[in-house]
Amino acid sequence: MDAVSIREVAPRDGLQNEKPIPADDKVRLIDALSRTGVRRIEAVSFVHPKAIPQMADADEVWTRAWHNPDVRYSALIPNTRGAQRALAAGFREIEVVVSASDTHNRRNLNRSTDESLDDIAALIPLVHEAGATLEVIIATSFGCPFEGDIDPARVASMVERVRSDGADRTAFGDTTGMATPRRVKDLLSQVRPELLHFHNTRGTGLANVLTALEFGVREFDASAGGIGGCPYAPGASGNIATEELVHMLEDLGIATGIDLEALIGVAEMAEKMLGRTLPSGVLRAGPRTRLV
């Protein structure tokens, strides 16, 4: 049987575009997700609190959260200072973001794409010397809200650069949900990452996953309840909902190892924490196996 690995990103990506919630709630969310059978969780981001105030309590949240030995936890960092904090906190899986769009990179990180690539090259030895791995996430891989279409060749050249610099993994981010199956085919025909991060902003998230599966990609990000987005990209709402992704994959005979009912329970928890209706259809209707 085929299998897919899902990285749950609700505690970090899912919350960064929401009003700040108490550390207690963040800890409860991570702990609940750690009991669903998910094997990878993006737990926190070590960024300056003025840039992303929602992550200002990252150290406290990570210290208090349950660290399930069967789960791999990762942290997102923007720069060397963030990497130092993540390593000091004990993380051994680090993620860093660079945008294929120069405009978005300047909005997000206050520097050009080339400057960020240079920073990443200098960051890799620091991470490796600490016995950790670095994943480079290329944001706006499928399109930019400021620049429009992104040439797949540009993304491919960035992958070649970071791999030659020593990055351990690459991921492509669909920052504002501009990806469609056609765009996924165009990009994956040129270069393939280890992981894909799709949004469902325009309703094509699961269709994009199906297309990526045809190209052999077996790792995806998803967020409980479909929460998430980028604070520096207009319209960047809605990661694909983890429970919708698990529901579809399991029905296709593709194993995820995740307890769907437990996952729906976490999405319900997130909905109560945030005080608003979340966009997940499976959260509303339940799995196809649940009879009225």
Cβ of 151: how many Cβ atoms within 10 Å? 12
Question: What is the distance between the alpha carbons of residues 207 and 30, in angstroms, rounded to a whole number?
Answer: 28
Question: What is the distance between the alpha carbons of residues 244 and 261, in angstroms, rounded to a whole number?
Answer: 11
Q: What are the C-alpha distances in Å from 271 to residues 133, 224, 236, 278?
A: 33, 9, 19, 6
Chain center to CA of 40: 11
Active site residues: 230
Contacts of 119 (CB under 8 A, 6+ apart): 79, 80, 111
**Please, is 94 exposed, middle or buried when counting C-beta atoms within 10 Å of its C-beta (0-12, 13-18, 19+)?**
buried
Contacts of 227 (CB under 8 A, 6+ apart): 10, 14, 15, 17, 18, 238, 239, 270, 274, 278
The first and second tokens of residue 37, run together, are 């059978």
Beta carbons of 175 and 140 less than 8 angstroms apart: yes
